[in-house]
Amino acid sequence: MRVLVTGKHGQLSKQLQLDASAAITLQALDRAQCDIRNATDVLTAVTDFSPDVVINAAAYTAVDQAESDAEQAYAVNALGVENIARACLSNDTRLLHVSTDFVFNGQQSQPYQPSDVIDPLGVYGASKAAGEQRVQALMPAAIILRTAWVYSCHGNNFMKTMLRLMAERDELSVVVDQIGTPTSTPTLAQTIFALIDNTQAQGIYHCTDAGQGSWYDFAVAIYEQAQALGLLPANKSVTIRPIKTTEYPAPAQRPSYSVLDHSRLQADTGLVMRDWRVVLAEELNKLLVETAQTLKDSECISNK
C-alpha cells in the first residue's frame, strides 16, 4: 500500500512514519514540499506519488490565535482540505482526514456519537467543521476521524509542557471543568492504519483512548507517574491547583465536555481502546528511555 501523509513534522505524522509496517510505502510531506492551501501543489504531489490513500494530518491548530487569524485557519482547515479531496478525486485515491472534538459545543453530558449535530464554538472548530463538510460533499466515501487532546513523546503538547513546567515551578493551576479524553499518537496511528486496511470503512469515526477526565486530572496523572518513573526529581514537590475556565481567560471558548464515543470504530476495526492513564504511563516510559539515550549519546560525544 502506498500512503501519502501531509503535515510531516506534526506529532501524528511523525508517529505514522514510525509505526508504518513494511507493507506500507509511506511518503510524508511538509508545507515546503506541499502547501495544502495551494491546489496545484496538492494535485502535483498526489499525482506524482500515486498513493492508494492520502492521510491528511496537516492542520491549523493554534486555537486561540485562530480567533484573530480566521483567514489562515480557514485557508488550511477548510480550503486546504478541499484541495486534498479534489486531488484524491482526480486520482481515484482514498482519503482519511483527521478532525477534532472542537466541532461540538460541549453542552452534552454523554459521549458524542459521530452522527451528533456539530456546533463549533470558535474559529478553530468552525474551520475544522467546514473542512469536514467539504470532504463529505466531494467524497462521501472518505474517512473523517475525529480525535481529542492529542499528545506524544515528540512535538509540542500538553504532556511535555506540563513536564517542563513541573521541573521549573512549585505550583501550577490547571482547568478542572473541561472534560475530555487524552489521546496518544500511537493509539491514533494504530487506528488510522486499521481504518485504511478496511476497504469498507467510510464516513465519520471517533478515536480517543478510553475513559475521561479533566485537564487537571491529566496534569495530576502526569505528575504522579513522572515522579514514580524518575522523570522528575523525587524530592520535587509541585502543587497542582484546580481552577475553573473562568479563572483562565483565553480568546477562544473551549467545549466544556467533549468525550467522544468510539463504538462505531471498535465495531468496524475490532480495536479496543485502553484507559488513557495506562497509555500515558507507556508514553512517559518511552520519554524516559529517550531521555536516557540522549544523555548517553551526550556523554559519548563529550568523552571523544
Residues with a known catalytic role: 124
Q: What is the C-alpha separation between 277 and 206, in angstroms, rounded? A: 19
For 97-134, b/e burial (b = at least 16 CB within 10 A) is bbbbbbbbbbeeeebbebebebebbbbbbbbbbbbbbb
What are residue 257's DSSP bridge partners? 179
User: Could you please report the per-residue DSSP string of 153-170?
Assistant: SSSS-HHHHHHHHHHH-S
Query: What is the crossing angle of helices 123-138 and 81-90, to 10°?
Result: 10
What is the spatial distance between Cα 30 and Cα 17, in angstroms, rounded to a whole number? 13
Whole-number Cα distances in Å, 149 to 91, 258, 261 = 33, 10, 14
Cross-strand bridge partners of residue 86: none
Cα–Cα–Cα angle for 279, 213, 128, rounded to 5 degrees: 85
Pairing state between β 2-6 and 25-29: parallel
